[in-house]
Amino acid sequence: MLEISELNVYFIDDFNYLKFFFKNNKYSKIFILVDKNTNKYCLHLIEKYINEFKLIKIKDGEENKNIDSCNIIWNNLIKNNADRKSLLINLGGGIITDIGSFCASTYKRGIDFINIPTTLLAQVDASIGGKCGINFKNIKNSIGLFVNPRCVFIIKDFLQTLSKREYNSGFAEMIKHSLLKSKNDFEDLLIKYSNLTIVDIYNSVKIKYEIVKKDYKENGLRKILNFGHTIGHAIETLSINKKNRLLHGEALIIGIICELYISHKVLDTDINLINYIIYKLIKMFGYFDINSYSIKEILEIIKNDKKNFYENINFSLMKDIGNFAYDINVPEKIIKESINYYKNLN
């Protein structure tokens, strides 16, 4: 079995392994947190391995990653007399693991929690790095902390529960990780697209792990993990009110393409390399129509981005595959150009 032992992250192909973990466990009570989807599609795949548990359900969606959902979780824990020796298992995508981790680590000053990410996106991104929290007053992740789960189970069999769009959304984060690492990793991943193994997932998480290990609290290097996210996040936020809402990874691919363009303009990154990567990304993920997204609105969201300080708009950019820079100030004019560049790619 593959693992990142320092963080107790276990990579397994199927659900059977869970029976060894939950047998003779030391917990006084076990709670499982789910949303509508993981209750329907994922819970039955693991529940037989856990003798007795209480279920906590919250609404799905980014709009419910808020204090109301925390109230539901904390109320359930209190109502069922959860004590310091209780365990919360967070079964779901990044929203469930973020909010569940936050509630567990604040309940009675912190109880154990385990994350079982059920989407490819959560397996390769939210699974490690210790970020947890909620949105508050419409500001994404504005309340939260860094805290690591007792352990994480990354189970490949959950990929079967995903739609193609959900799968691609996670694959987009894997592509970003591969660009942070090496040309070989990027090329290799493109070939493996429809045939991902647990080793590929492990390799992707390992790229993030090596970065986070050096800068857990995101004071510097960790910011390179935000590549593609400054514009991607703004587009994702705007898409909430559109007819065709974009998934995180879809917005991320748009963001990566825009930020590759910016990398060329600001860091003089080789244009042939930029064109090559963009060609591969469009071929793999297709083109997302963002013609109805106004550049003014995109810029407004970017200006509120957490990476900005002293009123500058800062990006993480690519000098070469495997070589990134962070805290790069980019003039508004070039950001606008990059969005127009994307719009005209079709």
Q: For residue 233, indicate whether it is catalytic.
A: yes
- Of 39 and 226, nearer to ligand GLY (C-beta) is 226
Helix, strand, coil % in the chain, rounded to nearest 5? 55, 20, 25
Applying CB under 6 A, does 236 fall inside the site for ligand GLY? no
At its nearest, how many Å lie between ligand GLY and the CB of residue 219? 12
Q: For residue 264, indicate whether it is catalytic.
A: no
- Of 91 and 225, nearer to ligand GLY (C-beta) is 225
Contacts of 3 (CB under 8 A, 6+ apart): 9, 10, 11
Q: Which stretch binds ligand GLY (CB under 6 A): 15-23, 84-92, 217-225, 312-320?
A: 217-225
At its nearest, how many Å lie between ligand GLY and the CB of residue 45? 26
Beta bridge partners of 91: 116
Query: How many angstroms separate the most distant Cα atoms in the chain?
Result: 61
Q: For residue 3, indicate whether it is catalytic.
A: no
- Of 39 and 105, nearer to ligand GLY (C-beta) is 105
| Per-residue binding letters, 49-88, with ligand GLY (x by CB under 6 A) | ----------------------------------------
Q: Which long-range contacts (CB under 8 A, 24 or more apart) does 17-22 make?
A: 17/153, 17/155, 18/46, 18/49, 18/50, 18/153, 19/49, 21/49, 21/151, 21/153, 22/49, 22/50, 22/51
From 326, 250, 325, select the one nearest 293 (Cα to Cα): 250
SS3 for 42? coil
At its nearest, how many Å lie between ligand GLY and the CB of residue 72? 25
Catalytic residue among 226, 259, 307, 314: 226
Catalytic residue among 65, 181, 223, 229: 229
At its nearest, how many Å lie between ligand GLY and the CB of residue 94? 9
Under 8 Å between Cβ of 134 and 99: yes
- Interface of this chain with ligand GLY, residues 108 to 147, rule: CB under 6 A: 125, 129, 131
Question: CA distances (Å), 302 to each of 180, 195, 236, 311, in order?
Answer: 22, 35, 11, 11
Q: Which residues bind ligand GLY (CB under 6 A)?
A: 125, 129, 131, 218, 222, 225
Q: Catalytic residue numbers?
A: 109, 131, 173, 208, 218, 222, 226, 229, 233, 248
